[in-house]
Structure 1
Amino acid sequence: MSASPPRLIDFHSHWGTEQGWKGSPYESAEDRQALRGYFKWDMRFVSEEEQAAQFRRANAKVMLDFAFTPKMDVGAVREQHDYAFDFARKYPDVVLGNWIGIDPTRPDHVKELERCLSDGPGLVGLTLNPTTPAGTPDQPEWETCLNLCIEANRPVLIFVGMSATGAGTRGGMGITLESCHPRYVDRVAAKYPDLNVIAARVAWPWQSEMIAISLHKSNVWMELHGWSPRYFSDELKREIGKRLRKRVFFGADYPMLSHERLVDEWREQGFTSDVLDDVFSGNAESFLASIGVE
């Protein structure tokens, strides 16, 4: 008889439903093939009910990210957010909340962020997308949105390291990897000490820099979605069990990577059970309590 799955608080996954990938750049056969080659996932979608059932079977409560909303008109953005909020209200046992991606140079997008921070169920945080006209998260165009998050006591998500989006395509879909250097986490966290900053993804090829920033600034955390832990650097594995033990959150990147697969691979790395308990849910529970989220 197999053991029951551990409780997971997943700080970053996407949608397994077709609506959840509205506006995706993966519409051409070439781009879909690149995604398939990188993650071995071919964009076969499930219903909302099956998505909730998959999370429930994995014993996971998930932060969901659309990823493609910053380039949409505000009406389409609002439609996506309402879709996400309806799903969260229907399945509160498996949805922690939503990451909101907007273009801060568009006043109607900023108003939509205000609405989401005020009315969205669960945890609502801001994703700082460096591919918007505002550029990297340290640029002044982000200031209004960052202050809104401080006022609402809600975190921001800043991507670091290599991006799976565009990987394996000519020109990488126009994404420059430098825009995901951890220096931008450092700059934002230093300028806004009252802001909670979560660095998203493994920070390769700048992992040492990201570790230093996490150790230096107590308002910075790391979530490690999108990577099998078997590919983590030795330095990262060592620090997860030591100095970063309370600074790391679990992240999956569903549906590209399943929760079950990642739990197995985390366990294979030799971490002690108490370290795994912290990574899988304990650190997240402490963080959520500190910002008043149950």
Structure 2
Amino acid sequence: MLNADDLIAIDFHTHAEEPCCGPRDDGYDDFQAGMAKYFKNPAGASGMLPSVQQTAEYFRERRIGAVIFPVDAERETGFRRYSNEEVAQIAAENDDILIPFASIDPAKGKAGAREARRLVKEFGVKGFKFHPTMQGFYPNERWAYPLYEAIADEGAIMLFHTGQTGVGSGMRGGMGMRLKYSNPVHVDDVAVDFPDTPIVLAHPSFPWTEEGLMVAQHKPNVYIDMSGWSPKYFPKIFVQYANTILRKKMLFGSDWPAITPDRWLKDFEALDIREEVRPLILKDNARRLLKI
């Protein structure tokens, strides 16, 4: 089992990228090549993205715990999702380092809610990743609430992508991705309606950074993971809040494999963060949130 005392950090945002059930779907290589160009990530461009097992080995070498999840965006992208069960099973085999989250498109309705309950009870899933832009919905749409209710009932965490995305960046029509869905202000309603459920806003929420900070400051159950950007590009106000009133709500996240923790942590060392705040961001806040 994971022993947080042995870790130097907990990465709250890592991806299980590959689809299940065989070879990649048509268009998936182009999608990953676009992501690789956006993040300057050679692994994606070469088509050699790491498996979940390889991810575990990489993080184990660095003594970094990793929250890992697939993204269920079948409806909007046409790409088959990576099986939640498979990701959770591999995480269980590497439970000294991997913390399983899952992903379910809210449009799956009651079937999705049943799946969420089963994943928590039978597979030990700790939280659920939502990507409003990839899944094509506003987080506060009421038809998504049956899934949220199941997650809340099971005591799991909700993690929402916010802000700009590398998905479809530079591709024709942005690969159909609509950025409007990922304004973090839409998560504010979810935080009101599920006040006892931990909610994490992924990324600095650009260009709605201040909206994200606003929601996290105002709602006790809302946190921010700092993934998806190299810390050297963080807006000044984002760093200011991380150093002060949100110091117990900021979480280290890389966005592996698009951004490696090696790169993120190197740039974080140069960031103007108070010494007493660094351990909160790197491990302590995540440990408290995950109850480990």
Q: TM-score, normalised by structure 2?
A: 0.86
Q: Look up the match of 2:71.
A: 67
Q: What secondary structure sits across from 2:28 in the alignment?
A: coil
CA separation of 1:112 and 1:18: change in aligned 2, threshold 3 A:
closer
Letter of the 1:87 counterpart: I
Q: 5 Å matches for 1:115-130?
A: 115-121=118-124, 123-130=125-132
Q: Look up the match of 2:191.
A: 189
Q: What secondary structure sits across from 1:104 in the alignment?
A: helix
Q: 5 Å matches for 1:154-193?
A: 154-193=156-195
Q: Look up the match of 1:277.
A: 279
- 1:216-275 Cα distance to aligned partner (Å, 9 max, x none): 110110011111010000010111111110011111111111111111111111323321
CA separation of 1:191 and 1:91: change in aligned 2, threshold 3 A:
same
Contact 2:164–2:206 at 8 Å: present in 1 too?
yes
TM-superposed deviation, 1:24: 6.8
Match of 1:90 among 90, 93, 96: 93
CA separation of 1:49 and 1:211: change in aligned 2, threshold 3 A:
closer
Letter of the 1:61 counterpart: G
TM-superposed deviation, 1:127: 2.5
Q: Which range is displaced more, 205-214 or 100-109?
A: 100-109
Superposed CA RMSD: 2.6
Q: What secondary structure sits across from 1:82 in the alignment?
A: helix
Q: Look up the match of 1:255.
A: 257
CA–CA distance in 1 between the matches of 2:198 and 2:22?
27
Q: Look up the match of 1:143.
A: 145
Q: TM-score, normalised by structure 1?
A: 0.86
Contact 1:214–1:221 at 8 Å: present in 2 too?
yes
Q: Which range is displaced more, 124-133 or 257-266?
A: 124-133
- 1:92-130 Cα distance to aligned partner (Å, 9 max, x none): 111112132234344433322221121122x42122343
TM-superposed deviation, 1:16: 6.2
CA–CA distance in 2 between the matches of 1:20 and 1:230?
39
Contact 2:109–2:143 at 8 Å: present in 1 too?
no
Contact 2:116–2:151 at 8 Å: present in 1 too?
no
Letter of the 1:44 counterpart: M
TM-superposed deviation, 1:15: 2.5
Letter of the 2:120 counterpart: L
CA separation of 1:19 and 1:245: change in aligned 2, threshold 3 A:
same
Residue ranges of structure 1 left out of the alignment (5+ in a row): none
CA–CA distance in 2 between the matches of 1:127 and 1:138?
15
CA–CA distance in 2 between the matches of 1:21 and 1:275?
44
Q: Look up the match of 1:109.
A: 112
Letter of the 1:112 counterpart: E
CA–CA distance in 2 between the matches of 1:60 and 1:255?
14
Contact 1:16–1:254 at 8 Å: present in 2 too?
no
Structure 1 runs (4+) greater than 6 angstroms displaced: 20-25
TM-superposed deviation, 1:18: 6.9
Number of equivalenced pairs: 280
CA–CA distance in 2 between the matches of 1:251 and 1:21?
29
Q: Look up the match of 2:3.
A: none
Q: Which range is displaced more, 18-27 or 96-105?
A: 18-27
Match of 2:56 among 41, 47, 52: 52
CA separation of 1:138 and 1:49: change in aligned 2, threshold 3 A:
closer
CA–CA distance in 1 between the matches of 2:243 and 2:23?
39
CA–CA distance in 1 between the matches of 2:184 and 2:220?
15
Letter of the 1:186 counterpart: D
Q: Look up the match of 2:39.
A: 39
Letter of the 1:27 counterpart: Y
Letter of the 2:208 counterpart: W
Q: Look up the match of 1:15.
A: 16
Contact 2:128–2:157 at 8 Å: present in 1 too?
yes
